[in-house]
Amino acid sequence: MLELKALTKRFPVTGKHRKQTGQTSLTAVDGLSLQVSGGRIYGLLGANGAGKTTTLRMVATMLTPSEGTATVDGCDIITRADEVRRKTGLLFGGDVGLYDRLTAYENIQYFARLNDVPDEVSSARIHELAEQFRFTEHLQKAAGKLSKGTRQKVSFARAIIHDPQLMLFDEPTLGLDVTAKKEAEDFILHCRDKGKTIVLSDHTLSVVERLCDRIGILGKGKLLGEGTIDELTRQHECKSLEEVFFKLAEENAAL
């Protein structure tokens, strides 16, 4: 479903930082290659600055790779970006961006229209998603008046209103309370059960452990290790994912 082929992203270094370090570019993602099968949840695990978000942004066609490429369901992210967008939904966690003066319904419908979903289809789907996420009573309220948890639910609905095959979730439970976190996790599992492919980026080990079928550990833009939790612990002779993570991080830092 998703294949990354030596995906690389370098950002130019300018100004003071360039003068101080002499660096002309910063490699955020360094020759990343991996495959994610359909109907699976793939976890991208890494510390801040490991290249998780940059990878997701490239797959979502927001950033152009410096080298390498990726395909979503056989569509190249560079040459067939429009089709990739149709097949992909992206969600960022944390401080969720919604249009505060539009209602929850209008926020979702706006993105449905921008993804070519006819109004009659999107209307039924919005109500279906609202019921599923339990925010039906908030549909006609201005987004600016919604709680953080409800805003996150609305943004979930917005990200998948066009029923994408690939869902990219960047720290989707960040800042949510326990109940909202549980609902978000249940929803991700529900999407997987419906055959969706999910790439979940997070630096919370417990979230990744609970949800992901396979895990890729990133460090300084490189894939340091990959596999199921069992495979990773066996390969690196560790007792837990946490141990594997810190072992790989230490090895990577020493390089």
Which residues are 216's β-sheet partners? 44, 226
- For other proteins, which residue of 26, 102, 121, 238 counts as binding (CB under 8 A)? 102
Should residue 125 be labelled a site residue for other proteins when binding is judged by CB under 8 A? no
Should residue 246 be labelled a site residue for other proteins when binding is judged by CB under 8 A? no
Which helix (H) or strand (E) element contains residue 179? helix 178-193
What would the two tokens of residue 69 be? 């490429």
CA distance 181 to 225: 27
Should residue 95 be labelled a site residue for other proteins when binding is judged by CB under 8 A? yes
Q: Which is nearer to other proteins, 85 or 153 (CB)?
A: 85
* Residue bearing tokens 């460090």: 219
Should residue 13 be labelled a site residue for other proteins when binding is judged by CB under 8 A? no
- The stretches of the chain forming alpha helices (DSSP H) are 15-21, 52-59, 81-87, 104-114, 119-133, 148-160, 178-193, 205-211, 229-235, 241-254
Should residue 158 be labelled a site residue for other proteins when binding is judged by CB under 8 A? yes
Should residue 63 be labelled a site residue for other proteins when binding is judged by CB under 8 A? yes
Should residue 85 be labelled a site residue for other proteins when binding is judged by CB under 8 A? yes
What would the two tokens of residue 72 be? 């979503």
What would the two tokens of residue 181 be? 């976190």
- For other proteins, which residue of 32, 41, 70, 98 counts as binding (CB under 8 A)? 98
Q: Which residues contact other proteins (rule: CB under 8 A)? A: 11-12, 57, 60-64, 82, 85-86, 88, 90, 92, 95-102, 106, 110-111, 113-116, 155, 158-159
